[in-house]
Amino acid sequence: MKKLLAFLSLSVVSIPVSADSALLCTDCSDPNKAKAFATSRADSLICEQTEAPQTLPSDKSCSSKSKIVTFVDRDSGKAYRYNVYHEPGAPWSVNANKIALSNNMEEGFSILTKFYRDLGSAIKSASSNISNLNDSTTNLKDASSTFAQTKTTNCPAQTALTTVMDPYAMQNVEDLARLEIAAELSSENDRIAFNPIKKDKIYSLNFKGLNLNIYDNTRSKNRSFVVTFGHSEKTTSFQDFLLFTVDILGYDANNIPITNFNLNDSSRVAGFTLSRLRGENGPVPIDNECVETRLEEAVNMGLLTVKTSSVRESGGASGGEDSGVSFPVPGGSGCQILDFVQGGEHIYTFKICS
């Protein structure tokens, strides 16, 4: 049988920038470059044509609102604030007047920018292959998947596919990653006791009565935590890997960061990126027996539940009965849709054709 797989996409929620915020800039520690960056953030100039006597040319009136721009140089941590506005007359040049920041604000932004750099370095250093990650910490149970205990097939046991299907394995990977990132971060940053946090592209710090935020609007991507796998159900020239974005939401009593990991669609599972498996370019053909076997095992072990509906020749679906733990659905001709659910959440969908 030919089998087709499509995954559903996840939604992304953004958070707003608060009033006490600074933009992150690159290569703007030099005063001239800092002023140039400030002027580049000026509001757009709005012009109107004004009426004039017939004997005179018409005139143009232009203006823009003045704007306070605060930003921090990524490498030095130097913070700046400017009042930016256009001149009221032609050629309406942009002016940027520097505003002094308090010592506490300068120090707080410097601490927060160092956290930005050190967190990226810690995530990069903590990234590892799955076997090294398992061996690096002994006070947690092995991060291998439940499938590692099954002896029914010759398929590889600890893979990206078996890990993402098993919530226990995913939790173990994230717990190990949390400790590794915490160890790297504490070794690089002696100001971590101020408990800076990160959510998406916003880095925040409460410092001496100030609530400071840095918004990373640069084109560079935030560092992601990567776990590579030495084995895959499908042999290709590339290793499977799980790629996580990392947020720091707070700190526990031992000052270990409380982390939030989000699996990125660029992850590679069973030889495909997750975005492809989620149906980005339509269903992906699955012709690998180990992939089929692992999905069947996941259903039989209760890690996944599956519902089926038949597909008519025209492509429409009918039915919708629970199939229990029977997978794949035996017999018949044509195609069937298999919807996989974990913890009440619809995870992915198979289209199976005889």
Q: For 105-132, write each residue's pLDDT tens digit.
A: 999 999 999 999 999 999 999 999 888 8
Under a CB-based contact definition with an 8 Å cutoff, are residues 204 and 197 in contact? yes
Bigger pLDDT: 324 or 218?
218
Residue 94 pairs with which residues in a beta bridge? 86
Q: Over the stretch 167-194, which tens digit does the pLDDT of each residue have?
A: 889 999 999 999 999 999 988 888 888 9
pLDDT at 144: 57
pLDDT at 330: 47
Per-residue pLDDT averaged across 213-224, rounded?
Answer: 87
What SS3 class is residue 40?
helix
Closest Cα partner for 228 from 242, 208, 211, 217? 242
pLDDT at 279: 64
Reported confidence tier of residue 65, pLDDT bands at 50, 70, 90: confident
- Rounded Cα distance, 31 and 29, in Å: 6
Per-residue pLDDT averaged across 258-266, rounded?
Answer: 93
Under a CB-based contact definition with an 8 Å cutoff, are residues 163 and 173 in contact? yes
- Rounded Cα distance, 141 and 22, in Å: 42
Name the residue type at position 130: I
pLDDT at 1: 42
Locate the domains of the chain by residue range.
2-10+283-353, 125-199+219-275
Residue 16 has pLDDT above 50, yes or no: no
- Rounded Cα distance, 41 and 33, in Å: 13
Reported confidence tier of residue 3, pLDDT bands at 50, 70, 90: very low
What SS3 class is residue 47?
strand
End-to-end Cα separation, the chain, in angstroms? 5
Phi-psi region of 325 (alpha: psi -120 to 50; beta: other; left: phi over 0): alpha
Angle value at C-alpha 276, between 272 and 279, nearest 5 degrees: 140
Residue 339 pairs with which residues in a beta bridge? 307, 349
| Total-model pTM | 0.80
- b/e for 198-212, b at 16 or more Cβ within 10 A? beebbbbbebeeeeb
R_g (Cα) of the chain, nearest Å? 27
* Alpha helical stretches, state H, the chain: 31-40, 103-126, 130-136, 160-165, 167-188, 274-277, 289-300
Q: Residues near 31 by Cβ (< 8 Å), separated by ≥ 6? A: none
Number of other residues whose CB lies within 10 A of the CB of residue 37: 20
66-70, 141-145, 181-185, 261-265, range with the lowest pLDDT = 141-145
Provide DSSP, 294-310: HHHHHHHTTS-EEEEEE
- Rounded Cα distance, 203 and 60, in Å: 43
Six-digit token pair at 183?
């160890």
pLDDT at 17: 36
71: which DSSP letter?
Answer: E
- Mean residue pLDDT of the chain comes to 80
Closest Cα partner for 60 from 50, 74, 45, 71? 50
pLDDT at 66: 86
Strands of the sheet with 284-286, listed across from one edge? 284-286, 2-7, 345-353, 335-342, 305-311, 317-322
Under a CB-based contact definition with an 8 Å cutoff, are residues 42 and 234 in contact? no
